[in-house]
Amino acid sequence: MALSNMLRSPYRDLEKALGYRFRRRAWLEMALTHPSFRHETQGAATDNQRLEFLGDAVLGLVVADHLFAVHATADEGALTDLRSSITNTRALARVAQAIALGQHLRLGHGEQQSGGARRTTTLADALEAVLGAAFRDGGLKAVQKIFRHLFQPLFEQPAPAWAGNPKGALQELFQKSWKSNPVYRVTRESGPAHERTYTMDVLRGAEVIGTGTGVSKRAAAVEAARHALERLRATPPGA
């Protein structure tokens, strides 16, 4: 009986980790299907890209609603930066790693061989797709349930002092430690004109110390600064 239940529910462990059981597991399977699998597999008609788009929007709404309620005096800029700290690619990938999401991904052979199941962007995209699938399966309540189970504990961890203004904190650190300023450089622009995504590096001299991605240059710079501060915190100035 236990074996037959496992066969009927191949994603039982993942659903337990998510804190949500899908009523229609076809949505979850679609969320776990990387485009490389669809391209290489005859009869595979869909992948997770559309669900990723939906999940990104739904997660943004749920996180924004939580921050709006909890941080009653924070202004728009601070709320935007806090939301980014939870929904940026690296943060999503860390959550995905914590629930072993990569083990469940359906990847093409080449993507699997190149380590796609551990790739930060692949994991982050898949987690967004899972949230999109949950929305299609159970509506906003389903996404909120996963949010409370996976994401809300992140809010309960002590935030670093620079969480609300990483660019300002990085600027201050540069002035104090190296008597110079960080340099931000756009390295990539993608997407249509009305929906651009920017990738930006922040440099200390010629060394790239942080990278960020966002829907505006400002958001990408904030994320790059946050990444740099995380790295510098692990490796103190002068080390």
Mind telling me the catalytic residues? 56, 128
> 9-35 in b/e burial notation, b at 16+ Cβ within 10 A?
eebeebeebbebbbeebebbbbbbbbb
- Side by side, the strands of the sheet bearing 207-214 are 183-190, 197-204, 207-214
Question: Of 136, 122, 154, whose CA–CA distance to 34 is shortest?
Answer: 122
Cα–Cα distances (Å) from 171 to 79, 166, 167, 204, 228, in that order, read 20, 8, 6, 11, 11
Q: Is 124 exposed, middle or buried (0-12, 13-18, 19+ CB in 10 A)?
A: buried
